[in-house]
Structure 1
């Protein structure tokens, strides 16, 4: 359960309460073991972004506006900094499912990135 501890210590009490109020919470409880096993595999990945410095292609790094700073925002900024041809775009007002909540915004960001190449 190391993964469980790792995930939940990144959440504020308010975020954890909000997570528990989500309609899918009950369904997710049924997938708890699978979720924790998969998150554990992610947690065990080598840390750092230096290995990506050699990526020599244009890369669009998308970040949701509401990303937790330590869990997603800081790594996204670090990744964009080491990728030689990266463009970091923050999706204003968006959470984890921008492809559902704002598909036009997401498409525009991707189109702008591709047309600038």
Structure 2
């Protein structure tokens, strides 16, 4: 996978990074970070660029943790649904076998009853 060298502008600072991600994706991340950090500094005039970066990082980590927990919960639910579906399929197959057995028994009993007449 090719490595892209991309220059980012974040809060007045210029950063050259190397990434395998697309330039468009990386620039969109930098734009979001720049926006968030500038918003923090606008709300807190005494906040430095470093403080804004730390607060942004904490916000992103919080979002990541909550998303990870949500994804783990969804994986667990999907696993439970798959187990339930497999159990239901097995029960349906057993029910079909029982229906077929009962049909054969009915046919046998009808044949026996017809022969007794």
TM-score in terms of structure 2 length: 0.25
Structure with higher RCO (Cα < 8 A, 6+ apart): 1
Larger Rg: 2
